[in-house]
Amino acid sequence: MVEALVDGDLLDRGDDGLLRCFWGGGTPEYRAYHDNEWGRPVHDDPRLFEKICLEGFQSGLSWLTILRKRDAFRRAFAGFDPVLVAAFGPADVERLLGDASIVRHRGKIESTINNARRACELIEEEGSLARYVWQFEPPVDARPPVVTHAWLMEQAHTEASRALARDLKRRGWTYVGPTTVYAFMQAMGLVDDHLEGCHARPRVELARRSLGLCPR
């Protein structure tokens, strides 16, 4: 595969001398998330459920807000175990609405509980959430000769994210639009969108190859 060139301002060199995707070095939280999590393949159902729920909570907010509240979200939502969250009822909704450590949005809270129930149905049908999600891994997509800001903005959603979003909605999931789903796909490694030259990209690609995933 011919590696794409990257528009110069899309990579940021940190004070540690390492090149990162332009968004990955702004704060310590972003740096740790970019370097150690984003794009790495995930096959654990609670982690997958957490990632898709947090992408839904992020809608209209900055991802930094979610990162800083992530431990609180995990406490509030029983570690994002779909079985446990599926058992939440009206009293839990009120409890969560009173919890200032998370994002107190009734629609997103109720969506998380609904989606936990839908996840349990899906796990019963498919065997695991991971088995279902990884069916939507897209084929290798050739990047353009030069990756630019304009091209990246067009990647807000893709054919694969639209297909996954449609199927989740058909199954009754909410807060799973194609843009949210694409961010989930990036976060859990269904695609690797680390840019060429980013120091994390080789390690992510190695993790993908070790699982037999197609390189991008």
Tell me the catalytic residues. Answer: 33, 55, 63
Q: Which long-range contacts (CB under 8 A, 24 or more apart) does 31-38 make?
A: 33/67, 34/200, 35/199, 35/200, 37/187, 38/186, 38/187, 38/194, 38/200
Q: Per the structure block, which two tokens stand in for 111?
A: 């969506």
SS3 at position 103:
coil
Look up tokens 């609670």; give the residue: 46
Sign of CA dihedral 122, 55, 9, 209: negative
Taking the C-alpha atoms of residue 122 and residue 129, their distance in angstroms, rounded to an integer, is 7
Look up tokens 């393949």; give the residue: 41
Calculate helix-pair angle for 90-97, 106-126, nearest 10 degrees: 130
Residues 6+ apart with CB under 8 A from 137: 160, 190, 191, 213, 214
Contact indicator for 147, 195 with CB cutoff of 8 Å: yes
